[in-house]
Amino acid sequence: MPGTETKHKVRDVNVRMLRGGSGPPLLFLHGANGLPVWLPVFELLSKQFEVFVPEHPGFGTSDNPAWLRNIGDLAMYYLDFLDEFGPHEVHVVGQSLGGWAAAEAATRNCSRIKTLSLLGPAGIRIKGLPSGDNFIWSPEEAVRNLYHNQAIPDQILAMQPTDDQADILLTNRFATAKFGWEPRWYNPSLERWLHRITVPTLVMWGKEDKLFPSAYAARWGERIPGSRVEIVPECGHVPAVEKPEITAKEIIRLYAGTR
Amino acid sequence: MQFTFFHLMPYRPLNMAERHKHKAAWVVLPNTLYDPKKGADEYQSYIDQLVYAEKLGFDVIAVNEHHQTAYGIMPAPNLIAANLIARTTKAKIAIIGRALPLVNNPVNIAEEFAMLDNLSRGRIITGFVRGIGNEYHSTGINPHWSHERYQEAHDLIVQAWTKPGPTSFEGEHFNVRYVNIWPRPYQTPHPEIWIPSMGSSETVKWAAAPERKYPFLVTFSSRELVARYLNVYRDQAKQYGYEASPDQVGWASPVYVADTDERARKEAKEGIETLFNDFLAVPFQMLLPPGYMSLPSMKNTMRMRKALGAQKRLTMEELAESGTVVVGSPQTVRDQLARLRDETRAGKLITMLQFGTLSDELTKRNMEMFASEVMPHLRN
């Protein structure tokens, strides 16, 4: 069953949000490319969870408040968002940029979070292992370099976006630059505080990730106490899209371990 | 009309076959393609040309700033300006411009310009720009804040020049407790500030504001666009309740003059085409990183590009046809420049008489022809 599109308001900010399914709440924080549609991975997760997928402030058609200036602001926004829920109630999943925001939020306050799943998150830097420069990639490279299975980019590139879709892509690119241009895709302080994430955590990484090398997964695993690292073979930067079954299965497994 | 001789200082010995193995002559072009001995010769030739321009009667000699590129080997234009101060006596020396958002302490720019203004006893003209999009890749500065950083840096520099120090500056990007520059500028209240621009409406509105009235210069644009943007500036001035003076508007263009149209086109062709296609051309995502333009301007630009389709190599003939470059006999060049001057009532012409791979010899001839056959006819 496809998710429904709603508006969601936290304090003075209205965002577009997809939601669907029933069960314990799961908050999915999308990556830099935004939130186009209800993805197969959401569908799989919605069999176990009530899935909430907000479009980040500054992205797509969500509000773009003037105070939103860095990843810390986005993290604080999501802590406000989570305040609507009870203690340790929400399963938080974050992809790439969304994973970064989720980790920033969780280092500040885990009190509403039940489990945390980080899928190829941005946010830390390992010297000598630079991220790919997605801002200089050509439009075609920017799609191809995200996936291992090139059938996916073939399909994406075959579609000509409408003017409205092109505008949304551009909006998302602007928002992404704000958070990730400099320092490039990391917060120098974040790694030091990852031990403050005290909820069951999954770190999942596509083995063939060309944006953030999969060697980053181990570092995240070391820094977050008790976390589990899963490297997904034959998978690029976006396991949620390229390997939706494995992604959903591992998130559900993490949840099962808490029951 | 006021005439400026402007130099980009391209690295002419560039191996173009090697250049085209890379995305651009910017950011990623390996600097092993730069030969210091040849480069040193380039600096010498170019500085000689700038000095010679004063002798030929140009009012202003001008340089500018670009980073990590063969397009212009002047990452620190103030160093060239200091050299020009020592070798000239009366021409104004314009640095148009410094890229304000790319620095982390704009007070340094205020200081350096003030030093140059003292060293030259008031012959300095400054230019404030944001840098080309490419330079946000090569410096790492976040293009998302380009406009904000520009505004703040501008305010901070003008404050440093005009408010008796020490003062303090409280911005989002720059926060300086002690603004108290030594030396202060030689000119009162401060050196002129010119605004070279590709014509963004935000910039026009800001530059024309009555408290600024900054001279606005349209660069690298067709005749039609130069006229349109300069008239937008004039209209904007009218909305502010005043008439823009000729000194407030101008344009910059490569110009080549020879005895006949045919000879001019033949001699200018390689230089013009290398300038636009080999040195300047860069992929879109390098040129316009997110935030460099406002979101509405960028949306329009993307739609225009989609309509235009794939980019081809530009020919000199096309560029001359659109008036982006002016190439021809003295009569042709006079007529074209006079027409645009009259249409826009522009009082400033920024000439690029060396461009692309144009040789020293042809540059010298071009400069002499322009100075003797064109300039006198266009002076008021």
Which domain covers residue A229, as residue numbers? 4-256
**Residue B334 pLDDT class (50, 70, 90 cuts):** very high
Q: What is the CATH number of the domain that holds A80?
A: 3.40.50.1820
pLDDT digits (tens, 9 = 90+) for A197-246: 999 999 999 999 999 999 999 999 999 999 999 999 999 999 999 999 99
pLDDT at B51: 98
pLDDT band, very low/low/confident/very high, at A1 (cuts 50, 70, 90): low
The helix (run of H) or strand (run of E) holding residue A98 is helix A97-108
Contacts of B325 (CB under 8 A, 6+ apart): B253, B254, B255, B256, B268, B272, B316, B319, B355
- Closest residue by Cα to residue A104 from A4, A180, A208: A180
Best residue in A145, A173, A187 for a mutation probing chain B (most B CBs within 10 Å):
A173
Inter-chain contact B137–A136, Cβ cutoff 8 Å?
yes
Phi and psi at residue A6, in whole multiples of 5°? Answer: -135, 175
d(CA A196, CA A189): 13
Residue of A nearest to B293 (CA): A174
pLDDT at A50 over 80: yes
pTM of the predicted model as reported, rounded to 2 decimal places: 0.96
| Separation between Cα atoms, residue B99 and residue B197, nearest integer Å | 12
**ipTM value greater than 0.90:** yes
Tell me the torsion sign for CA atoms A149, A154, A155, A159: positive
The model's pLDDT over B269-308, given as tens digits with 9 standing for 90+, comes to 999 999 999 999 999 899 999 999 888 888 888 877 777 6
| Domain spans in chain B, listed from the N-terminal domain onward | 2-378
Read off the pLDDT of residues B173-229 as tens digits, 9 standing for 90 and up.
999 999 999 999 999 999 999 999 887 778 899 999 999 999 999 998 999 999 999
Given an 8 Å threshold on Cβ–Cβ distance, is A178 in contact with B298? Answer: no
Q: Residues of A near B (CB-CB distance < 8 A)? A: 135-139, 142, 163, 166-167, 170-171, 173-174, 176-178, 181-182, 184
**Inter-chain CB proximity B142 and A178 less than 8 Å:** yes
Of A157-171, B90-104, B146-160, least confident by mean pLDDT is A157-171
Q: Give the C-alpha separation, B287 to B159, whole Å.
A: 31
Contacts of residue B137 in chain A, CB cutoff 8 Å? 135-136
Between 3.40.50.300, 3.20.20.30, 3.30.830.10, 2.40.110.10, what CATH number should domain B2-378 receive? 3.20.20.30
Q: Do B143 and A181 touch (CB under 8 A)?
A: yes
Q: What contacts B150, CB < 8 A, 6 or more positions away?
A: B100, B101, B128, B130
Confidence of residue A140 (pLDDT cuts 50, 70, 90): very high
On average, the pLDDT of chain A sits at 97
pLDDT (mean) for B52-78: 98
- By Cβ distance, the residue of A136, A171, A182 closest to B285 is A136
Q: How many domains does chain A have?
A: 1
